[in-house]
């Protein structure tokens, strides 16, 4: 990574304060603010999760040289931070640079270089390719939960939530072509690359939404997500039920709204 040329600033002094107890005092006070990160760090085997990711979606071949890659574990931990604090790639890079607790959580404390936003984006693209990396993280975490005693019991709760996406500006003819998976006439490759061609419109409670649906199965006892499926927003909830049911749940009870109530599902 090339170090950017930044003009020197007097905002940060060259040398830290001479008080030997400053760091210790601040660390003691911070302990109360990082309980969630500390619990995650203790309970989750991120090294095992990173190994599962590398197995599911291997790194690119580096036999011809290139800069050594960042450890997969550090990048997985950064993705967790993004989900926990709703951070963009740029925000996550800044927070890890600025916050000691984030550096420690990501095992980057004292590191010369921190993964930048582009590196994090590239890693998430790697996870998303075929859904393999994301599935590896989900399954690894599920297995760890069961080893901690969180076995699915008490039945299943199934529901769907809408995940909105940026609206694609297109007229009726162009929209019809996109819905068929075709490229609208006159659209450039650049415009197509910046267009979400899988999202769809749906109406809920009289309001229109554009995006996707996240169909989730939650363990009725521990309220932990056990199965997931993502579809376009216009997909029928009831038809997704067979794909999100979990046969391993130890109780034959299903809680769902009337959108799932059909003869086939019963």
Per-residue pLDDT reduced to its tens digit, 160-193: 999 999 888 888 898 888 888 888 888 988 888 8
Quick one: pLDDT at residue 31?
Answer: 72
Per-residue pLDDT reduced to its tens digit, 191-250: 888 888 889 999 998 999 999 999 999 999 999 999 999 999 999 999 999 999 988 887
Quick one: pLDDT at residue 36?
Answer: 87
Quick one: pLDDT at residue 131?
Answer: 82
**132/129 Cα distance (integer angstroms):** 6
Per-residue pLDDT reduced to its tens digit, 110-160: 888 899 999 999 999 999 887 889 999 999 999 999 899 998 888 999 999
Q: How confident is the model at residue 28 (pLDDT cuts 50, 70, 90)?
A: confident
Mean pLDDT of all residues in 89-95? 96
Mean pLDDT of all residues in 80-94? 95
Quick one: pLDDT at residue 176?
Answer: 87
Q: What is the pTM of this model?
A: 0.75
8 Å CB contact between 256 and 157:
yes
Quick one: pLDDT at residue 209?
Answer: 94
Mean pLDDT of all residues in 83-101? 93
Three-state DSSP state, 5: coil
Between vectors from CA 222 to CA 80 and to CA 160, what angle results, nearest 5°? 70
**258/266 Cα distance (integer angstroms):** 11
Residue 230, φ and ψ in degrees, nearest 5: -115, 130
Q: Give domain limits for the chain.
A: 22-60+69-140, 153-260
Quick one: pLDDT at residue 2?
Answer: 53
pLDDT over threshold 60, residue 1 = no
Between vectors from CA 168 to CA 165 and to CA 171, what angle results, nearest 5°? 145
Quick one: pLDDT at residue 21?
Answer: 74
Quick one: pLDDT at residue 14?
Answer: 60
Top pLDDT among 33 and 240 is at: 240
């Amino acid at each position: 990574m090339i170090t950017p040329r930044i003009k020197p600033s007097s905002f940060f002094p060259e040398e830290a304060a001479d008080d030997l107890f400053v760091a210790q005092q601040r660390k003691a006070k911070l302990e109360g603010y990082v309980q969630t990160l500390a619990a995650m760090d203790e309970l989750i085997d991120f090294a095992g999760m990173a190994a599962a990711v590398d197995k599911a979606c291997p790194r690119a071949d580096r036999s011809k040289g290139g800069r050594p890659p960042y450890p997969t574990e550090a990048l997985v931990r950064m993705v967790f931070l993004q989900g926990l604090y709703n951070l963009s790639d740029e925000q996550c890079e800044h927070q890890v640079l600025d916050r000691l607790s984030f550096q420690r959580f990501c095992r980057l404390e004292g590191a010369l270089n921190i993964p930048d936003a582009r590196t994090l984006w590239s890693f998430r693209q790697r996870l998303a390719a075929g859904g393999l990396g994301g599935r590896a993280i989900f399954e690894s975490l599920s297995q760890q939960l069961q080893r901690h005693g969180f076995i699915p019991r008490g039945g299943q709760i199934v529901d769907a939530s809408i995940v909105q996406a940026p609206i694609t500006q297109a007229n009726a003819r162009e929209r019809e072509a996109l819905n068929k998976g075709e490229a609208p006439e006159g659209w450039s490759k650049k415009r197509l690359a910046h267009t979400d061609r899988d999202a769809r419109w749906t109406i809920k409670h009289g309001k229109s939404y554009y995006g996707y649906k996240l169909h989730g199965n939650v363990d009725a006892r521990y309220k932990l997500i056990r199965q997931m499926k993502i579809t376009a927003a216009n997909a029928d909830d009831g038809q997704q039920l067979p794909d999100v049911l979990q046969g391993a749940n130890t109780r034959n009870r299903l809680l769902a709204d009337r959108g799932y109530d059909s003869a086939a599902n019963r």
